[in-house]
Chains A and B, each alone.
Chain A
Amino acid sequence: MHVVLADYFPVLVFVVIAFGIAGAMLGGSLLAGQQKPYAEKLSAYECGFDAFDDARRRFDVRFYLVSILFIIFDLEVAFLFPWAVALGRIGLFGFLSMLAFLGVLTVGFIYEWRKGALDWE
């Protein structure tokens, strides 16, 4: 395993340029534009509801359930990537072990489907 840091030099360049462009846009508009602020202009625009409200309102627990299920299937997909890359070298056994893994998670998927965890009104 070689030192991969040099491979990521383009990423560093990308990040630096991105920060540079964002800073140039913000600073440029700050310098070049005419600033005539008044209260209405400075107020946050929200379509439909009040702009200034408590952010910590309680919302439905179903959002939380959806994000939990997202995490679990996210990790399942994370396990699929090395498998797909190395599939040619791990043979039938590796293929079948992934099928068993997917089978276990399919049991969970069927369970949540039957329980109605994926339903939304």
Chain B
Amino acid sequence: MITQIVFWFFAVVLIGSAVMVVSARNPVHSVLFLILAFFNAAGLFLIAGAEFLAMILVIAYVGAVAVLFLFVVMMLDVNFSQLREGLQRYFPVGAAVGLVLFVELALSASAWRIAPNVRDLPHARVPGASSNTEALGELIYTHYVFLFQACGLVLLVAMIGAIVLTLRDRPSAKRQDVAVQHARVPADTLQMMTLGLGESTTGNGGFRRPIGKSAEKPVSRPALVIENSPDREG
């Protein structure tokens, strides 16, 4: 009884927030309603006994995906007047397609009968798993190993795709290159010179000047060491 009440509560709030996600004017409101929808879906998962998934939904979706959405929404300057322009034009088609699909799904769900001998079919049974997480763990890594590896490949593709799309190579980035640092020799950066009395370094090109091949390396800035500094006299 309590389960029924909680189920309908979560279901109604979930549908309401999904409607708001689709129809909200402001994208920030839409993202916030998406977060609410995720929380309610997590509650439904709890009712279904999927505790681990409920927590993962809150952590991965609310903690990461929704935040990423907020990030992008705040990053882009959204033109609010343009947002609803084509809404009337597309509303009939979109609503009709959505309604037709819903009616089809509802018909197939209501006409759903469970075959009487389906219990005899081989299932991936988990005998004696003490918790939901353990039951999940026993299935993913052995019985569904190909799906699991496919998940890894999908994540790899997403990682590489995101880097390729968003990474700009900026030459100004000061990154450490250990090999260049070790290959440095004093002759690259130092120049020993003897100055006569009364001569200044300015006449010889100043303290800082590019010498040799170290000129194109931004990490090693040439410095001049003077044996007897004329600045004291001049």
Contact = CB atoms under 8 A, between A and B. Distances in A.
A79 B154 CA distance: 14
Contact of A67 (B47, B64, B145, B148): B64
Nearest to A63: B71
A76 B155 contact: yes
A47 B2 CA distance: 50
Contacts of A82: 52, 133-134, 136-137, 140-141
A3 interface: yes
A68 B51 contact: no
A97 B148 contact: yes
Interface residues of B, number: 57
Interface string A59-80: 1011111011111101110110
Contacts of B158: 68, 72
Interface in B125-147: 129, 131-138, 140-142, 145
Interface of B: 2-3, 6, 46-47, 49, 51-52, 56, 59-60, 63-65, 67-68, 71-72, 74-78, 129, 131-138, 140-142, 145, 148-149, 151-153, 155-156, 158-160, 162-163, 166-170, 172-175
Given A59-B75, A82-B137, A86-B129, 13 more contacts: A4-B49, A8-B46, A56-B77, A61-B168, A74-B60, A78-B56, A78-B60, A79-B140, A83-B137, A86-B134, A97-B142, A105-B159, A116-B169
